[in-house]
Each structure stands twice: as C-alpha cells, then as structure tokens.
Structure 1
Amino acid sequence: MIENEISEIVFSAGMKIHRTLGIGLYENVYEECLVYELKNRGLNVESQKNIDIEYEELKISKAFRVDLLVENKLIIEIKAVQEINDYHFFHLLNYLRITNIKLGMILNFHSMLFKNGVKRVVNKL
C-alpha cells in the first residue's frame, strides 16, 4: 500500500472520530480512537513510537517520539489546538527528514471542520 492510500484511510478514520466525539477532548483520547479505527481497517499502527537517531558516530536512543507510525510509511501527529502553526509543520517535517519517511499528517481534532485541521507534510514524495 502506498503512502497516499494510507493517508486516505487515516483521513476517513479521523473524520469518523471527529463526527462522533466532536472537539474539546485531550489528544490522547483521539489518538486511542484513531489507533482503534486504523487497526480495525487492517493497518499496522505503532503508538508513541520512540525513534533513535545517529549524529556522526553518536547514537541517541529515544531521541524523539512520534504519536503514530502507520505501516512504517506515515507519521501522524495528533493535535487538539486552536490552530496548526509553522512550528507544528516544521516539527513534523524534521521527523520525516530524520526517519527518511516520505509522508506525515497533522490531525487537529480541535478544528470545527475536520478537513480544515488536516495538514499533509511531504518529504521527497
């Protein structure tokens, strides 16, 4: 399955969760629901995945943690904030660059319209 196909499934699952639960909950609630939905749709999902990095000869274990890693091809960052800003975008872009993953998504469940709270971030896709 390619990245765009995975992202369509993620969007659909996120939309379902947003319609059912609405806005105003903590990020961890949306995260657990999204893991549940994606696994029910047959996807491999790792939640709160620690990532190791290397800097020259130095290996740093647990250098950062991604909210969700789907099929080892898509990083998802879940937010429940008033708006997604440049910091969120560059934060995810850096994760993609370091892991050499091509696609990431920011899902902001605090947006009144779910589609307005979704941001795709691309790394050499």
Structure 2
Amino acid sequence: MTKAEVTQLSYDIVGCAIKVHKELGPGLLESVYELCLAYELREKGYLVNQQVTTKINYGKIEIETPLKIDLLVNEIVVVEIKTVEKLLSVHQAQLMTYMKILKKPQGLLINFYTDNITKSMIPLVNDYFSKLPE
C-alpha cells in the first residue's frame, strides 16, 4: 500500500459519506450513518468491518477491551463516526489512539451533524503513514 493509495481510499470514503449525508441529512443516530456508510462502501467493492473490537497489549499482557472501532475500511483506514454539534480534541485523540492500537496509517473523523461533511471532517495520519512508500 502506498501513500497515494491510502489517500485515494480516504477520498472515496469521504465521497460515500457525502452521499449518505445528502440522502439522510443531519440529526440521526451514529449507528444509522455507520450502517449506511458501510453499505455505500461495500457497494463500491471495499472490505468494511464494523464495530471492530480490539485488544490492547500492555507490558507483557494482552487485555480484552470494550473498545469498538466504528469502521475499518480495507484493513487500512479507521473511520470514527460522530453526530455532535462540535468535534472536540478528545475525538481526535480517540481516533489517533485507535489508529495506533490497530497500527493503521490513516483515520477519518466524520461528523454527520453538520451542513457540510467536507468542511467538518478531520483526516488524520500517523507514523505508519509516513513510512509508506510514495
């Protein structure tokens, strides 16, 4: 996987989110947007895992956690869906931590409680992204 491929995948995910948002509008539960976004992505041929549970390695132990990642697309991009008036820094921190735990290079924080997905969406990358080939 290259940086360009990850970026294109993220672009496609955002395009699907825009489609869902245009169809449904703001104000629904996160779970509704998650289901619809997963449907749109699968229709485009992407592998989509929903509510991905994860374990945390801490010291010499592996801990079962109640953490659930909203969407993992093509085993590369972590998508965290929100329906809040304003995205907070804690939401970005949550996504960055999910990306670190899963060792994934890109994350998208998508807030469906907005007039414009593109303006409110926050893309995040980490060290895994910087290590990818161009």
User: With structure 2 as the length reference, what TM-score do the two structures score?
Assistant: 0.89
Moved over 4 A (4+): none
AA aligned to 1:77 is: E
1:62 is displaced (CA, Å) by 3.4
Tell me the equivalent position of 1:50: 53
Query: Which deviates further from its counterpart, 40-49 or 111-120?
Result: 111-120
Distance 2:65 2:47 in 1: 21
**1:121 lines up with 2:124 in the alignment:** yes
**What do residues 62-117 of structure 1 show as CA deviations (whole Å, max 9, x unaligned)?**
35210001111000000010011100001111111122111000110001111122
Tell me the equivalent position of 1:27: 30
AA aligned to 1:6 is: L
Query: Which deviates further from its counterpart, 17-26 or 59-68?
Result: 59-68
CA contact under 8 A between 1:53 and 1:63: conserved in structure 2? Answer: no
Tell me the equivalent position of 1:104: 107
SS at match of 1:97: helix
Q: Percent identity?
A: 32
Higher RCO (Cα < 8 Å, 6 or more apart): 2
1:61 is displaced (CA, Å) by 2.1
Query: Which deviates further from its counterpart, 74-83 or 63-72?
Result: 63-72
2:70 to 67, 70, 77: 67
**1:83 lines up with 2:86 in the alignment:** yes
AA aligned to 1:28 is: S
What is the number of residues matched between the two proteins? 125
**1:12 lines up with 2:43 in the alignment:** no
- Runs of 5+ in structure 1 lacking a partner? none
1:46 is displaced (CA, Å) by 0.3
For the aligned residues, what is the CA RMSD?
1.1
